[in-house]
Amino acid sequence: MSRVKKLIRQEILDLTAYPVPSAEGMLKLDAMENPYMWPAVAREAWADLLKDVPINRYPDAGAQQLKDALKAEMGVNDNYDILLGNGSDEIIQMLAMAVAKPGATILAPEPGFVMYKMIATFCGLNYVGVPLTDEFELDEAAMLEAINEHEPELIFLAQPNNPTGNLWDENIVTNVIEASQGLVILDEAYTAFTDADHLFLLEKYDHVLVMRTLSKVGLAGLRLGLLIGSKQWLSELEKIRMPYNINSLTQASALFALEHFDMLIMQTEQLRIDRVVLMKDLCTIQGLQVFPSEANFVLVRTPDGMARHWFEGLKEKGILIKCLDGGHLLLKNCLRITVGTTEQNDKLYQALKVISDSGSIQ
């Protein structure tokens, strides 16, 4: 046996690395990115600011100024603290590490965000995925049963959910929280695209934390995620955080972005408008089922057996989306399309129309 095989844990050997397809020269509608850049004046002011950032020094480890700006922008009151992560992915990892006693369990509904399961594996935790219903709603009975059986230390609930795009019934969410003896994380990665807001749950339950990210609002490249909750939880998690996980350029850039947040809000408002237009357009495509969305992407179901075909057809035309067929059974024949600019959405729609028409002639 090679030393690699001998030393690396079996569950890591069994993994395949998170696939990030090359998108060079493609219209990228696969990763929930904001398609808009900042206006040129803002980019210049930002560049001016960055040139004075002392990158010979370690970053501000506490990043208090950034935390205060985030709290103000997101309406977080002083009863609560913020933990910063290098993307919310890193926060998921910190949470997993914090509870990783032998036999500890992470539970999440499926299909859901794949990093919950991956990070459970990285950190040596058990993972329990509970299938959603056919309508992508939380299966209340199955969730309560799984919680009872596995007593998970951590439960992740993404509201709205990725990759389905919908919000779950608030009553079921509440019942899941109340049934849990562990910690429940409300993952609000798509908060910029929905009116739903779960900060109020912090007041009601002291075993709930709310996680957000600046990635989907338009700062995916900065890698900045945050966890909001009581000091009691966050002061423990803070011990696990790498002291310099938020680099100086990210801190300076995020602060700048928060000072000009209306610029980002304008973009996300536009994306919300264009989501509706895109969904209406997609509904006109023969045989295509379009699911409700509260996020900056739309989940669709093609006629049986066509998802991969349509996905490849788009790719040939230089458009990259996400093919979910072949993953979770509930996502059979499904594609996920990120909302782009008005023009990009139209290009996607026109291309898909051609592909679906030619498919039905064959």
Ligand X SMILES: *Cc1c(COP(=O)(O)O)cnc(C)c1O
Which stretch in 2-10, 84-92, 229-237, 263-271 sits in contact with ligand X by CB under 6 A?
A: 84-92
Q: Which of 187, 274, 294, 325 binds ligand X (CB under 6 A)?
A: 187
67 Cβ contact list (under 8 Å, min separation 6): 81, 82, 84
Q: Nearest approach, Cβ of 92 to ligand X (angstroms)? A: 7
For ligand X, the closer CB: 187 or 356: 187
Residues 212-271 that bind ligand X (CB under 6 A): 213, 215, 220, 225
Q: How far is the CB of 214 from ligand X (least distance, A)?
A: 7
The one among 158, 185, 323, 335 contacting ligand X by CB under 6 A: 158
**Closest to ligand X by CB, 187 or 294:** 187
Task: Find the shortest distance in angstroms from Cβ 32 to ligand X.
Answer: 6
Task: Indicate the SS3 state at residue 311.
Answer: helix
**Which is nearer to ligand X, 215 or 267 (by Cβ)?**
215
For ligand X, which residue of 88, 251, 268, 296 counts as binding (CB under 6 A)?
88
> In terms of DSSP bridges, do strands 126-131 and 105-110 run parallel, antiparallel, or are they unpaired?
parallel
Best CA proximity match to 153, nearest among 125, 113, 189, 132: 125
Question: Torsion-angle region of residue 110: left (phi > 0), alpha (psi -120 to 50) or beta?
Answer: beta
Tokens 């339950």 correspond to what residue? 205
Q: Tell the smallest beta-carbon distance from residue 23 to ligand X (Å).
A: 16
Q: How far is the CB of 294 from ligand X (least distance, A)?
A: 12
Instruction: Kindly state whether residue 165 participates in binding ligand X, applying the rule CB under 6 A.
Output: no
In the block, residue with structure tokens 């602060």: 255
What does the alpha-carbon distance between residue 256 and residue 103 come to, in Å, rounded to a whole number?
Answer: 43
Selected from 113, 127, 136, 311, the binder of ligand X by CB under 6 A is: 113
Is residue 344 involved in binding ligand X (CB under 6 A)? no
Residue 105 touching ligand X (CB under 6 A): no
**If binding is defined by CB under 6 A, does position 89 make contact with ligand X?**
yes
In the complex, minimum distance from the CB of residue 205 to ligand X, in angstroms, rounded to a whole number: 20
Return the number of the residue (220 or 330) whose C-beta is nearest ligand X: 220
As to burial, measured by CB atoms within 10 angstroms (0-12 exposed, 13-18 middle, 19+ buried), residue 270 is: middle
> Helix, strand or coil for residue 86?
coil
Asked whether position 33 contacts ligand X by CB under 6 A, the answer is no
φ/ψ of 80, rounded to 5, equals -120, 155
Helices 261-283 and 342-361: crossing angle in degrees, nearest 10, is 20
- Does an H or E element contain 115, and which? helix 114-122
Angle between helices 261-283 and 248-259 (to 10 degrees): 80
Minimal distance in Å, beta carbon 211 to ligand X? 7
Task: Kindly determine how many residues on this chain lie close enough to bind ligand X according to the rule CB under 6 A.
Answer: 13
What is the spatial distance between Cα 221 and Cα 38, in angstroms, rounded to a whole number? 13
Nearer to ligand X, 261 or 303 (CB): 261
Task: Looking at residues 269 to 308 of the shown chain, list those that interact with ligand X (rule: CB under 6 A).
Answer: none
Q: Are 302 and 286 in contact (CB under 8 A)?
A: no
User: Minimum distance from CB of 297 to ligand X (Å)?
Assistant: 9
Per DSSP, the three-state class of 298 is strand
Compute the least distance from the CB of residue 103 to ligand X, in Å: 25
- The separation between CA 213 and the C-alpha centre of its own chain, rounded to angstroms, equals 8
Using CA atoms, how far apart are residues 323 and 301, in angstroms rounded to an integer? 10
Closer residue to ligand X in complex, CB, 153/187: 187
Among the listed ranges 8-16, 85-93, 251-259, 333-341, the one in contact with ligand X (CB under 6 A) is 85-93
Owner of token pair 């895109």: 278
Chain residues binding ligand X by CB under 6 A are 32, 87-89, 113, 158, 162, 187, 189, 213, 215, 220, 225
